[in-house]
Chain A
Amino acid sequence: MSPMRSAMIAAIGIGALATLAGCGDLDLWARYRAERGFWQARRRLRAIEIEPRLAAAGDYARAAAAFRAVADAYPAAVWTDPAHLARPVARDVALLSGRAAVAAARVRESHGETAAALAGYRDAETAFAAVPEVVLDARLARAAALDRAGRGDEATVVRIAIAREGAIVDADGTPNADVLAAPLRVARNFAARGLTAAADSTLRATEAHDLQSLAALHGAAAVAVWERLAGVRTAGHRTGAAIAALRGAVGALAPEDGRARADLVLRMADCGVSGGLPDSALAYARWAESAFDRRTRAAAMVLEARAFETLDRPDSALAAWARLLDDFPAVVGVSSNARFRRGRLYEDLGRWEQARGEYRTLIASDPTHPLAFTGLQRIVAWHVRHGEQALARIEGQRGIESLDQLIATHRDEDVQHRARTARAEVLMTMEDWPAACLSLGDLWNRYGDGGAGLRAAEVAESRLHDTERARRLYRDIADRADDAERRSARDALARLEGAHGP
């Protein structure tokens, strides 16, 4: 081939490539690069989340900078204009950019830079005002951050905005759980602050809004709104109406949605038990027991037994728990709960031998279950309450030995924590003050349990009369614990220093 011909072919090829480069989808290219940047930033964050204790300050800064780089590369001023948002792929870029901005703020918050994070959330909300998904993300993050910073009032204001302006249903028809939950959280917050009228008003407004929107909804969205309506009515202590709402949710389900139907029937039974309608609870529990799968049956039998307890029919409750044990003997969580409830019922009926038998069987069959620890404490406490100090000491020693063995043989952090907590409680019940103080102090040192630390200090002060030890504990708690415990420790220190001098 002649050089001239080769050069012509090369020129045609380059020209064709250049033309193609202009023909390509620039939005797709932008989205690809934004997704790649976001993915890489998330990888940095995941590396921190795997072991946060090993993460350095630089790691957080780099992760935040990686997210920030995505947001800066695709600025809101450009990508949220109507022309861009009208194109689906360009809209994805705006969404990624906004989410990156929120993620960058989240990283800063996880590193303790709360003020900077809150500012970042506010900026993202403002800059991406035309992208509702980003606005919702930013608001949810800001509300949660404000809660964590102890600024609940401001968090409530943000949640009111979410409830008012957030879309219940996403663009693809999926119910938005955070938007649905927002009004209930607002009402709960008002109620916790004693603002009953505001809480009631929020619940009423949400109920009216839901009833109105249900007319136009179907499928998963309708089910979600019926369920929220049930939650609103439960929060307003209207159990019958809440159950009616759950029946509405069942009606909105697709015929093949057996799992969801079973869960809703169980919820109706649970609603009846918690809301003081045990007869209704029994009816729904029996329906759930007969009409669905084995897993639902177990949960239904638990609700049936609880309904009998609420109806103050202990013998029927005992029989129901016994039936559960017969049908599900090997399902550890279920049988442990059943044994503990039988123990409590026997205890309330004054049948201590049978109660103790149930607790001992529970401890033997599932020693690491939380209720096993509670059962052990109840055995010791019963003897103390009935003046049987010697038996209390024997049972207490036996319990301590088994707890020590658990602590020595189990590597699971949760099991160790529960065992150590139970140990401290048993020692407190036995009034073994030196050992109890040591145990409670150990909980504070190991797990940062401020409550246990305060109790250790109280025992040191009031039972052991060891003021110096009490002061040391209070000082430590005042330095390292959470706000409420820190305040209590400071007050106690001030009291001690007032009484005994610095």
Chain B
Amino acid sequence: MNPIEQIALAWQCLKHAAAQLLRPSLWAPWLVLGAVEVAVVLALAGFAHPALSPIVVPFLLRAGGEAALHYPTVFRMLPALFARADLVIGALLGSIVTGVSTALFAVRYAAVPAPRDLLHRALARAPALVIVSLPVALATLVLTAGLARWAGDDATPIVRAAGGIAALGIALVVQAWFVFGVPYIVLAGRGWLAALAGLPRAAGRAMVGALFLSIVAVVPSLPFQQLARMSDTIVSRGRPEMMTWVTLAGIAASLLGAFLLTGGATLLFQTAVAEPDDDAEETA
């Protein structure tokens, strides 16, 4: 398929995924992930409470230093602190949720009832799902740290903006490359090594479509990322607790994007990437 055809196909896959937004059964795995992320944000915001401080304070000290234990500094640092925690949550729980969601989407697209042991089978593949999702998490970490180091404290706003755009672009390309890793494991029944080995072929067939899906998936969270960068202004001029709401809204937007990406990638995989001899377990 040429790039235009890939984009057209990806658009159709996205539309099909968006049509599933009103199905609560497909949202269930994402709600679990959302609940964990919301709990983390609320724990960070309420770190000083005696019930939470034994657990949260050591993390805050390591991540933000003594300053993070003062009001309202913790709210200035909240988006960055949550992003650190979310790297781990995303790598561990997020990859499993993506696997379960991929299986649910596949069943839905095939218009067959979900097998009773779907969740059990998806969870059994958890280690492979985590390994295949690690590169994306590592790339995000390296790009964020590298950008901060390259820009330095004296970088002009335009340099920072250019760096941010470049980092986002690279992260999207990495995500697009690895987006078919989970469908290979869940839908084609491959192990993690075989799934990674299949990625170059998948990229050859549908990289542009995958990149299109990744770009669309990140759009809902962009405004909240921008607000998160303004945390100093919001805390100084508004109410510091607003940053909790901004972070929670960012989580909701990210989950929406992840839902659409998973649903779209599942259908794109089945249409353009999957080979006839792949073991389509969940739709059997």
Q: Using a CB–CB distance below 8 Å, which chain A residues touch chain B?
A: 17, 20-26, 28-29, 31-33, 35-36, 39
A25 to B52, CA, bound (A): 9
17 contacts between A and B (CB under 8 A): A17-B51, A20-B50, A20-B51, A20-B52, A20-B55, A24-B49, A24-B52, A25-B48, A25-B50, A25-B57, A28-B53, A28-B69, A29-B49, A32-B70, A32-B71, A39-B71, A39-B72
A33 to B52, CA, bound (A): 15
Return the 4 tightest CB-CB contacts between A and B, nearest first. Answer: A24-B50, A32-B48, A35-B71, A21-B51
B48 A23 Cβ-Cβ under 8 A: no
**Contacting residues of chain B (239-284) with chain A, CB-CB under 8 angstroms:** 240
Residues of B within 8 A of A17 (CB): 51
With A36-B71, A39-B71, A39-B72: A29-B240 Cβ-Cβ less than 8 Å: no
A10 to B71, CA, bound (A): 32
The one of B54, B69, B70 in contact with A23, judged by C-beta atoms closer than 8 angstroms, is B54
A29 B70 Cβ-Cβ under 8 A: no
A248 to B62, CA, bound (A): 42
Q: Convert B65-82 into 0s and 1s, putting 1 for each residue whose CB lies closer than 8 angstroms to a CB of A.
A: 000011110000000000
The one of B54, B69, B71 in contact with A20, judged by C-beta atoms closer than 8 angstroms, is B54
The one of B51, B69, B240 in contact with A24, judged by C-beta atoms closer than 8 angstroms, is B51
Known: A21-B50, A25-B53, A32-B69. 9 other contacts (CB 8 A): A24-B51, A25-B48, A31-B48, A31-B70, A32-B70, A32-B71, A35-B70, A35-B72, A39-B240
Residues of A within 8 A of B53 (CB): 24-25, 28-29
Most chain B beta carbons < 10 A, residue from A22, A25, A32: A32
A28 to B55, CA, bound (A): 13
Question: Smallest CB-CB separation from A25: which chain B residue?
Answer: B53
In whole Å, how far is A41's beta carbon from the nearest beta carbon of chain B? Answer: 12
Residues of A within 8 A of B69 (CB): 28, 32
In whole Å, how far is B270's beta carbon from the nearest beta carbon of chain A? Answer: 35
Chain A-chain B contacts (Cβ-Cβ < 8 Å), number: 47
Residues of B within 8 A of A29 (CB): 48-50, 53
Residues of A within 8 A of B50 (CB): 20-26, 29
A21 to B51, CA, bound (A): 4
Most chain B beta carbons < 10 A, residue from A20, A24, A28, A39: A24
A21 to B240, CA, bound (A): 25
In whole Å, how far is B13's beta carbon from the nearest beta carbon of chain A? Answer: 38
A370 to B240, CA, bound (A): 43
**Contacting residues of chain B (31-55) with chain A, CB-CB under 8 angstroms:** 48-55
A25 to B48, CA, bound (A): 8
In whole Å, how far is A88's beta carbon from the nearest beta carbon of chain B? Answer: 10
A36 to B48, CA, bound (A): 11
In whole Å, how far is B235's beta carbon from the nearest beta carbon of chain A? Answer: 10
In whole Å, how far is A38's beta carbon from the nearest beta carbon of chain B? Answer: 8
Residues of A within 8 A of B70 (CB): 31-32, 35
A216 to B240, CA, bound (A): 43
Residues of A within 8 A of B72 (CB): 35-36, 39
A28 to B60, CA, bound (A): 13
Residues of B within 8 A of A35 (CB): 70-72
In whole Å, how far is A393's beta carbon from the nearest beta carbon of chain B? Answer: 55
Question: Smallest CB-CB separation from A23: which chain B residue?
Answer: B54
In whole Å, how far is B64's beta carbon from the nearest beta carbon of chain A? Answer: 14
Question: Smallest CB-CB separation from A38: which chain B residue?
Answer: B71
A24 to B47, CA, bound (A): 10
A36 to B70, CA, bound (A): 9
Residues of B within 8 A of A39 (CB): 71-72, 240
In whole Å, how far is A181's beta carbon from the nearest beta carbon of chain B? Answer: 29
Residues of A within 8 A of B57 (CB): 25, 28
A22 to B50, CA, bound (A): 7
Question: Smallest CB-CB separation from A20: which chain B residue?
Answer: B51
Residues of A within 8 A of B54 (CB): 20, 23-25
Residues of B within 8 A of A33 (CB): 48
Residues of A within 8 A of B55 (CB): 20
Residues of B within 8 A of A36 (CB): 71-72
A26 to B52, CA, bound (A): 11
Residues of A within 8 A of B71 (CB): 32, 35-36, 39
In whole Å, how far is B81's beta carbon from the nearest beta carbon of chain A? Answer: 16
A36 to B240, CA, bound (A): 10
In whole Å, how far is B231's beta carbon from the nearest beta carbon of chain A? Answer: 15
Q: Convert B184-222 into 0s and 1s, putting 1 for each residue whose CB lies closer than 8 angstroms to a CB of A.
A: 000000000000000000000000000000000000000
A441 to B240, CA, bound (A): 49
Question: Smallest CB-CB separation from A24: which chain B residue?
Answer: B50
In whole Å, how far is A111's beta carbon from the nearest beta carbon of chain B? Answer: 25
In whole Å, how far is B143's beta carbon from the nearest beta carbon of chain A? Answer: 34
Residues of B within 8 A of A22 (CB): 50
Question: Smallest CB-CB separation from B69: which chain A residue?
Answer: A28
In whole Å, how far is A73's beta carbon from the nearest beta carbon of chain B? Answer: 14
A33 to B48, CA, bound (A): 9
A20 to B57, CA, bound (A): 13
Residues of A within 8 A of B51 (CB): 17, 20-21, 24
A23 to B53, CA, bound (A): 9
